[in-house]
Amino acid sequence: MQQGRRNLRMAYPFTRRRAVALFLAFLTFGAFLLVRIFGMQVFGYARYSRMVEEQVRTASPLTAPRGKILARDGTVLACDKTVWRVYLSPVDVREEGERNGVDYATLIADGLSPLLGVDRDVIYSRAKKSGTLDQTVGRNVDTDVFRRVLAFIAENRLEKMVHADPSVVRFYPLGTFASHTIGFTGADQQGLFGLEYFYDEVLSGENGAFLHAKDATGRELDGVGVAYREPIPGNSIETTLDPYIESRLESLLEEIRKTFDVQNRVTGIVMNVKTGAILAMATSSPFDCNDPFTLDAISQEKLSASGYEKGGDEYAKLKSELLYTMWRNKATSELYEPGSTFKIVTAATALDLGVVTPADTFDCTGALQIGGYSISCHKRGGHGQGFSFAYGLQQSCNPTLMQVGARIGAERFYDYFVRFGYLEKTGIDLPSEVTGLFHKKEAIGTTELATASFGQRFKVSIIGQLTAVAAVANGGNLVTPYLVERIVDPDGKVVFAHETTVRRQVVSSDAAATVSAILEEGVSGTGGARNAYVKGYKVAAKTGTSQKFDILDANGNSFLRVGSCVAFAPSDDAEIAAIIVADEPQTAKYGAIVAAPYISSLLGSVLPYIEAKTDGKPTPEPVAADNFLSLTVNQARAVAKNAGLSVRVIGDGNEVVSQFPAPGVLLDPATGCVILYTENANKEIAVVPRVVGLSPVDANAAILSAGLNVGFFGIGDPLGHADATVSAQSVPPGEKVPAGSVVRITVLYPDEGD
């Protein structure tokens, strides 16, 4: 016992010291905490307050406005459109309802449903999900609807419960207009195709943000400020596209596709040959830029006809392939064999080297023996003997060009092929441009040289072919084609202005001028490109029909064709060049038929529009039919005579009570006739005559004699080409139509085989 007391007395001082030490430690730690807390509250308040705010803040991104894409005349081709996401805060819906004794879920559902076009029960069920922070009840709400939503919110004091976030979608006011060139954007406003992709960094701005604070339950925190970082808009681009020329080109391409059942699309380009500016670029069956993931009608037909089950892997794969084909810009991203349009380059090369003159003579028996092969001319019977090189080029004689190619030689032919830019990108400001495919220099034998001289057995891009021909048109300079003229910042300041880029001179101006003159004489005379003639203008043109050797029939024969035509005008001082390529036409195959008449129609519209130099010969303009109603017959005759139109009166009355065609319809003063009806006259019915196969003069006479009017398509001056024929008429023979109706006839030289 005594020993235990002695041990306890000995342990007590130690225990007391340990207790004191612990007390002092806790005291020190407590003092430290107090000092730290004091420091945080007094000296670190601003810092830690910011940290708390950052932790509770929710960021709502504000998408930067994307720059506009404009046509050369200022027409908006692509722009941003603000839309809104309307959403609810279910936590606040519940708490505000409990606080105010109001069934806000019902109020909100009943009010928003008709405004947003969303089922009332859907909105109600989302308003009742009080365990969530955010319930979307409307997406892509346009500004007009959003304003009505705001009014509903303000009227019912729902600011804590109903919210909206702005977002931006890309909008294309003209829908399918120039779709393959403009392209489109993705869900995040990033450019995916066309100009939208190529100029994505230019068009994209810098996103901003709207910051607001909520606690873990979704309540807005009082006293925590909001922050707003304004987005910086992107720059806008002003393109070289001309809305009138583009629309005219697109219309003609669709007409070609339908008329000749073209299976692999039709493409066309119009370019300023001096600057390289692209005035129009289109491919048939355009897609809607506002809805790019929906197949066009033709692609959808192919998908439906595949027999694949919807939703299956094969169906999805084919749809994806069809979409990419539909989006692909054929003018820059696909290759083709240019055929006889390439003879322009062969001729320019030969003249530049001095190995041929326009007066040199050649023979053509219909074929030429080269390297053990008999290579045919498109004219099986041949072009005769002792004709000039100029004539051979105008008639697109293959043996003539093969002999000229031999004079050039393989090495020089290859060098000029490179100089004309075929083995490099043109540099056009569009994505996915392809370069040409040609023989290696050391692999060019006599056969390869012969076929290459008239444009076969190699491939080039359509933009590459037009750029090369433009070099001949402008005097020998290879320019860089382009689509963006200027880049403008949000304040309207020009930050970039295009300057014409001449890559190099490929042939002399004399050689280029000689080729231009030869081609023009062929168009206005008896050459193979006569169907590209435009009355009143000097047009240089060349047609082409090439075989597709990468697709063969069961017997190993090429059966698909590409028909094309390239032209420039005025030939002696060219301003524009145009090309049309029909890939796999079915009902006709020659470029002289499927492309040249449409080049004529295109240039016939564009050359007056750009006020190009005429050939100096007087050309009567179309005359609009006047309004003859209520005039006396004598007054009507006088008005028509003054306008250069003839009239035909039906009935024995004295006053005109109706007419055909209607006022404003354009008529050719050489053929136009207005039918005038007087009182008590029965409107006459005319029977359409058969005119296919007739000369244009005879067809015109037959149609006028039947009491009908004539509309011409094809050769620019049909009545001046008596040796042409009518290949089609718009109204079938024997059909009965009102007297004065317009029958459109197509006048061509249908025997052209190149």
| Whether residue 233 is found in the same domain as residue 380 | no
Give the model confidence (pLDDT) of 78-98 as tens digits: 999 888 899 999 999 999 999
Give the model confidence (pLDDT) of 691-730 as tens digits: 999 999 899 889 988 888 888 888 878 887 778 899 999 9
Name the DSSP class of 134: -
Give the model confidence (pLDDT) of 442-477 as tens digits: 999 999 999 999 999 999 999 999 999 999 999 999
In whole angstroms, how far apart are CA 43 and each of 13, 33, 37, 39, 40? 43, 15, 10, 5, 6
| pLDDT confidence bin for 13, thresholds 50/70/90 | low
Boundary of a domain, candidates 238, 262, 290: 238
pLDDT exceeds cutoff 70 at 650: yes
**Which residue matches tokens 């490099």?**
424
Q: Where does residue 483 rank: exposed (0-12), middle (13-18), buried (19+ CB within 10 A)?
A: buried
Question: What is the structure's pLDDT at 326?
Answer: 96
Residue 269 within a domain: no
CATH number at residue 174: 3.90.1310.10
User: Using alpha carbons only, what angle is made at residue 72 by residues 68 and 75, rounded to the nearest 5 degrees?
Assistant: 55
Question: What is the structure's pLDDT at 125?
Answer: 94
| Whether residue 12 is found in the same domain as residue 104 | no
Confirm if 108 and 97 have CB atoms less than 8 A apart: no
CATH number at residue 504: 3.40.710.10
Token pair in block for residue 21: 């030490």
Question: What is the structure's pLDDT at 71?
Answer: 98
Q: Where does residue 364 rank: exposed (0-12), middle (13-18), buried (19+ CB within 10 A)?
A: buried
Residue 394 within a domain: yes
Residue 134 within a domain: yes
Question: What is the structure's pLDDT at 715?
Answer: 82
Question: What is the structure's pLDDT at 59?
Answer: 60
Residue 303 within a domain: no
The residues that bridge with 496 in the sheet, in sequence order, are 487
Q: From the CB of residue 55, how many other CB atoms can be counted at a distance below 10 Å? A: 8
**Helix, strand, or coil here: 657?**
strand
Question: What is the structure's pLDDT at 155?
Answer: 94
- Please tell me whether the peptide bond between 669 and the residue prior to it is cis, using omega within 30 degrees of 0: no
Question: Whole-angstrom Cα distance, residue 573 to residue 540?
Answer: 11
| Whether residue 63 is found in the same domain as residue 39 | no
Residue 48 within a domain: no
Residue 265 within a domain: no
Contacts of residue 698, defined as CB under 8 A and 6 or more positions apart, other chains included, come to: 691
| Whether residue 84 is found in the same domain as residue 30 | no
Average pLDDT over residues 194-204: 97
| Whether residue 393 is found in the same domain as residue 521 | yes
| Whether residue 358 is found in the same domain as residue 227 | no
Residue 503 within a domain: yes
Boundary of a domain, candidates 475, 508, 530: 530
> Poorest-confidence range of 20-24, 253-257, 677-681?
20-24
| pLDDT confidence bin for 202, thresholds 50/70/90 | very high
- Please tell me whether the peptide bond between 608 and the residue prior to it is cis, using omega within 30 degrees of 0: no
Question: What is the structure's pLDDT at 126?
Answer: 94
Question: What is the structure's pLDDT at 210?
Answer: 65
In the chain, the percentage of residues whose pLDDT exceeds 90 is 69
| Whether residue 75 is found in the same domain as residue 196 | yes
> Poorest-confidence range of 477-486, 541-550, 658-667?
658-667
Boundary of a domain, candidates 513, 530, 547: 530
Question: Whole-angstrom Cα distance, residue 335 to residue 341?
Answer: 15
In the chain, the percentage of residues whose pLDDT exceeds 70 is 90
Higher confidence at residue 388 or residue 143?
388
Token pair in block for residue 503: 């890559």
Average pLDDT over residues 291-315: 92
Question: What is the structure's pLDDT at 649?
Answer: 87
Average pLDDT over residues 27-45: 67
Average pLDDT over residues 497-508: 96
Query: Which range marks the domain in which residue 363 is found?
Result: 333-530
Task: Give the distance between the most distant pair of CA atoms in the chain.
Answer: 158
Token pair in block for residue 57: 């803040």
pLDDT exceeds cutoff 90 at 138: yes
| pLDDT confidence bin for 119, thresholds 50/70/90 | very high
If you average pLDDT over every residue of the chain, what do you get?
90
Question: What is the structure's pLDDT at 244?
Answer: 97
Residue of 536, 561, 538, 537 lying closest to 550 (CA atoms)? 561
| Whether residue 111 is found in the same domain as residue 33 | no
Full-model pTM: 0.83
Token pair in block for residue 641: 């005579």
Residue of 528, 516, 523 lying closest to 593 (CA atoms)? 528
| Whether residue 351 is found in the same domain as residue 485 | yes
pLDDT exceeds cutoff 70 at 38: no
| Whether residue 473 is found in the same domain as residue 402 | yes
Question: Whole-angstrom Cα distance, residue 707 to residue 637?
Answer: 17
Question: What is the structure's pLDDT at 133?
Answer: 76
Question: What is the structure's pLDDT at 711?
Answer: 85
Count of domains for the chain: 4
Average pLDDT over residues 409-429: 98
| Whether residue 417 is found in the same domain as residue 493 | yes
| pLDDT confidence bin for 49, thresholds 50/70/90 | low
| pLDDT confidence bin for 739, thresholds 50/70/90 | confident
Give the model confidence (pLDDT) of 655-697 as tens digits: 999 888 889 888 877 777 888 888 877 778 899 999 999 999 8
Residue 642 within a domain: yes
Question: Whole-angstrom Cα distance, residue 155 to residue 550?
Answer: 70
Give the model confidence (pLDDT) of 364-406 as tens digits: 999 999 999 999 999 989 999 999 999 999 999 999 999 999 9
Question: What is the structure's pLDDT at 352?
Answer: 98
| Whether residue 85 is found in the same domain as residue 15 | no
pLDDT exceeds cutoff 70 at 52: no
**Which residue matches tokens 């008005």?**
639
